[in-house]
């Protein structure tokens, strides 16, 4: 066996572990925000609103919306990666699994603690799965695709998408509250920190282009 093959396999194994650990943690952290009941992240507001209207679990709604968003990549000429497709299914399954295990929490202090844990863990999850460099999630890909097609800034495109998502979710009955505001303020700095914490050196079996999603988020 080539002496260079073992490091390459170890590198790939680390990236895969980061990818799926990050996606599972992302779903679990989103579920904690649901249990806290003090407001969800923007896409979570939409997912919960649709779940309330349809009677489908919020995790399954997340999967369906992720698949629909992924279809929007076609006219935007975006190319999905392993992480993109895995994101569609893994996050929703982890969310429903966590909701089935975590009991209802009462009391404002306990709910606030759960909300804070959900936001921080979401930042950790973002750093884990994006640093693995297997492609952006469907929603991030929609943002970068619209950025390229329209010429508008990443910040403007992301803001427009999230305002539309939050407004629609709120009208449908999604939970909008202090958690939504704190998430919006904290997730950028948290993601920036954990992207660096979990960064995998480029050039160890990864093409320069694969790092583009992580770099685009760092520039937001």
Q: Encode pLDDT of 91-145 as tens digits.
A: 999 999 999 999 999 999 999 999 999 999 999 999 999 889 898 899 888 988 8
pLDDT at 200: 84
**pTM assigned to the model:** 0.85
How many alpha carbons fall within 13 Å on the CB side of residue 172? 20
Q: Give the pLDDT confidence of 62-77 residue by residue, as tens digits.
A: 999 999 999 999 998 8
pLDDT at 209: 41
Q: Give the pLDDT confidence of 33-42 residue by residue, as tens digits.
A: 999 999 999 9
Q: Is the confidence at residue 213, as pLDDT, over 50?
A: no
Residue 69: CB partners within 8 Å, gap ≥ 6? 138, 139, 141, 142
Cα separation, 128 vs 28, in Å, equals 14
pLDDT at 8: 80
How would residue 4 be classed by pLDDT, with cut points 50, 70 and 90? low
Burial class of 188 by CB neighbour count within 10 A (0 to 12, 13 to 18, 19+): middle
pLDDT at 208: 39
């Amino acid at each position: 066996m080539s002496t260079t093959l073992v490091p390459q396999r170890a590198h790939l194994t680390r990236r895969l572990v980061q990818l799926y650990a990050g996606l599972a943690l992302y779903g679990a952290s989103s579920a904690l925000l649901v249990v806290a009941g003090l407001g969800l992240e923007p896409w979570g507001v939409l997912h919960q609103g649709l779940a309330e209207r349809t009677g489908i679990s919020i995790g399954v709604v997340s999967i369906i919306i992720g698949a629909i968003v992924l279809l929007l990549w076609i006219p935007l000429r975006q190319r999905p990666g392993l992480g993109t497709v895995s994101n569609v299914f893994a996050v929703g399954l982890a969310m429903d699994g966590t909701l089935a295990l975590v009991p209802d929490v009462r009391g404002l202090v306990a709910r606030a603690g759960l909300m804070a844990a959900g936001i921080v863990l979401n930042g950790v999850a973002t750093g884990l799965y994006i640093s693995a460099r297997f492609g952006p999630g469907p929603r991030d890909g929609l943002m970068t695709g619209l950025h390229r097609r329209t010429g508008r800034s990443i910040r403007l495109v992301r803001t427009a998408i999230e305002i539309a998502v939050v407004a629609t979710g709120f009208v449908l009955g999604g939970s909008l509250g202090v958690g939504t505001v704190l998430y919006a303020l904290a997730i950028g700095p948290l993601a920036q920190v954990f992207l660096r914490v979990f960064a995998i050196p480029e050039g160890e079996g990864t093409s320069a282009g694969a790092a583009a999603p992580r770099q685009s988020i760092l520039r937001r």
